[in-house]
Amino acid sequence: MKKQVVIAGTVMLLVLCFGTAGATMAIEAKGKDRCIEWGYMWSGMSDYNYTYTWLYADGSFYTDEGGSGYWMKNGAAFALRYTDGCEPLYAGTKSKGFMRCTDGGGGEGVYIIKSTKKRNCEAMMEPESVPAATGGPTGSSPE
């Protein structure tokens, strides 16, 4: 129970950072770009939609669907916020959590994250969105 309270408190702090300051830097980025595969399911959907996403060390992200924004991580707490669409905020842990539109238009759901190999992101994305180590710009978030 104590661990859940700590994680919940950290998630709320991340949400506040995103909501009030539009945070642009990742906590615990560890100086390297990472690839994740994650599924999201908006209310009304019957199954998860999966996407590959580069989490750049500078705190930005870019998905194989063309979405972009900023992410933060602190211990087990994780938050990701898009800067396009309904500007959804995803918050929870690095394996699962909730999501909600922040543009006032409603919409909510859940997400899950799976680890994946960098080559999967490289195969699914345009060359300009792939980090420098694999041929593209490091830390970019194409507009």
pTM, two decimal places? 0.69
Tokens 């792939």 map to which residue? 130
Select from 48, 113, 111, 59 the least CA-distant residue to 83: 59
In the predicted model, residues of the chain with pLDDT beneath 50 are: 4-29, 133-143
Question: Does residue 143 belong to any structural domain of this protein?
Answer: no
- Per-residue confidence (pLDDT) for residue 123, from 0 to 100: 87
Question: Does residue 91 belong to any structural domain of this protein?
Answer: yes
Question: Does residue 115 belong to any structural domain of this protein?
Answer: yes
Euclidean distance between the first and the last CA atom of the chain, given in angstroms as a whole number:
42
Domain count, the chain: 1
Question: Does residue 21 belong to any structural domain of this protein?
Answer: yes
CA distance 57 to 137: 12
- Per-residue confidence (pLDDT) for residue 2, from 0 to 100: 52
Q: Which residues contact 135 (CB under 8 A, 6 or more apart)?
A: 127
State how far the alpha carbon of 33 is from the alpha carbons of 17, 54, 130, in Å. Answer: 22, 7, 9
Question: Does residue 65 belong to any structural domain of this protein?
Answer: yes
- Per-residue confidence (pLDDT) for residue 126, from 0 to 100: 66
- How buried is residue 65: exposed, middle or buried, by Cβ count under 10 Å (0-12/13-18/19+)? middle
Domain with 40, as residue range(s), is: 2-134
Check which CATH number belongs to the domain holding 122 and give it: 2.40.128
Question: Does residue 111 belong to any structural domain of this protein?
Answer: yes
- Per-residue confidence (pLDDT) for residue 142, from 0 to 100: 33
